C-alpha cells in the first residue's frame, strides 16, 4: 500500500510540474501589455488623423485660390477690353471699388483699384490696376478673416495708353 501512495504522489507532482512548465512556455499578451499597445496605437492614429485634416483643408484652400485666380483674370480681361479713356478705367478711391460675383456656386468679393500714374499734360498715360479676389464663406469665419492665406488672390498690372509721350514725338 505504501508504494501505491507514493506513486500517486509522484504522479500528481509530475502533473503539477508539467502544468507549471506549460504556463511558462505559453506565448501571449497580458492585459497590461494589450492596454499599453492600445494607447500607443491611439496616439499614432490621432497623429495620422490630424495630418489628414490638415491636408484636406490645404486642398480646399488650393481650390479656392484656383477659382479666385480665374475670377481675377476674368475681371482683368474685362478691363483690358475697354478703351483706355473709358469710364470703367477711371481712377478709383484708395480703398477701391468692391463688387460681388458668384462663380461655381461660390461667392467672391472683388476689390478693384485703379490709380493714374505717369501723368503728362494732365492726362494719365499709365494706369495701375489692382484686383483682389477673396472667396466668401459664411459658415467659416477663418476663410475671410485670414485673407492672405486661404484662397485670396491679388493681381497687379499696368496698362498704358496708345498715345506717344512728349519725348517720343517724331
CATH number at residue 122: 3.30.1300.30
Q: Total domain count for the chain? A: 1
**What is the extent of the structural domain holding 111?**
29-163
| φ, ψ (nearest 5 deg) of residue 29 | -110, 145
* Residue 82, in any domain of the structure: yes
* Residue 46, in any domain of the structure: yes
* Residue 21, in any domain of the structure: no
Task: Give the pLDDT score at 147.
Answer: 47
Task: Give the pLDDT score at 139.
Answer: 58
Distance (Å) of CA 44 to CA 52, 54, 75, 157:
13, 16, 47, 48
Return the C-alpha cell found at 51.
495630418
Looking at the DSSP bridge assignments, the partners of residue 114 are 129
* Residue 147, in any domain of the structure: yes
* Residue 127, in any domain of the structure: yes
Return the C-alpha cell found at 61.
484652400
Task: Give the pLDDT score at 23.
Answer: 56
* Residue 170, in any domain of the structure: no
Contact between 44 and 52 under an 8 Å Cβ cutoff? The reply is no
pLDDT in single tens digits along all 170 residues of the chain: 445 556 666 767 777 666 665 555 566 778 888 999 999 999 999 999 988 888 877 777 777 788 889 999 999 999 888 888 888 888 888 888 888 988 888 888 999 999 888 777 778 888 899 999 988 875 555 554 544 456 788 999 888 877 665 666 55
Q: pTM of the full predicted structure?
A: 0.60
* Residue 22, in any domain of the structure: no
* Residue 95, in any domain of the structure: yes
Task: Give the pLDDT score at 148.
Answer: 47
Amino acid at each position: 500500500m505504501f508504494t501505491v501512495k507514493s506513486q500517486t504522489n509522484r504522479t500528481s507532482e509530475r502533473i503539477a510540474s508539467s502544468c507549471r512548465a506549460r504556463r511558462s512556455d505559453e506565448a501571449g499578451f497580458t492585459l497590461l501589455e494589450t492596454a499599453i499597445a492600445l494607447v500607443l496605437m491611439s496616439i499614432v492614429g490621432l497623429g495620422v488623423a490630424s495630418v489628414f485634416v490638415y491636408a484636406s483643408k490645404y486642398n480646399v484652400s488650393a481650390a479656392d485660390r484656383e477659382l479666385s485666380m480665374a475670377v481675377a483674370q476674368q475681371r482683368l480681361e474685362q478691363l483690358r477690353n475697354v478703351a483706355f479713356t473709358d469710364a470703367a478705367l477711371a481712377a478709383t478711391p484708395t480703398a477701391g471699388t468692391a463688387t460681388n460675383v458668384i462663380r461655381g456656386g461660390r461667392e467672391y468679393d472683388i476689390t478693384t483699384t485703379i490709380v493714374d500714374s505717369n501723368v503728362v499734360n494732365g492726362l494719365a498715360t499709365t494706369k495701375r490696376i489692382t484686383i483682389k479676389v477673396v472667396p466668401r464663406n459664411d459658415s467659416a469665419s477663418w476663410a475671410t478673416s485670414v485673407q492672405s492665406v486661404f484662397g485670396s488672390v491679388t493681381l497687379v498690372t499696368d496698362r498704358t495708353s496708345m498715345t506717344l509721350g512728349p519725348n517720343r514725338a517724331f
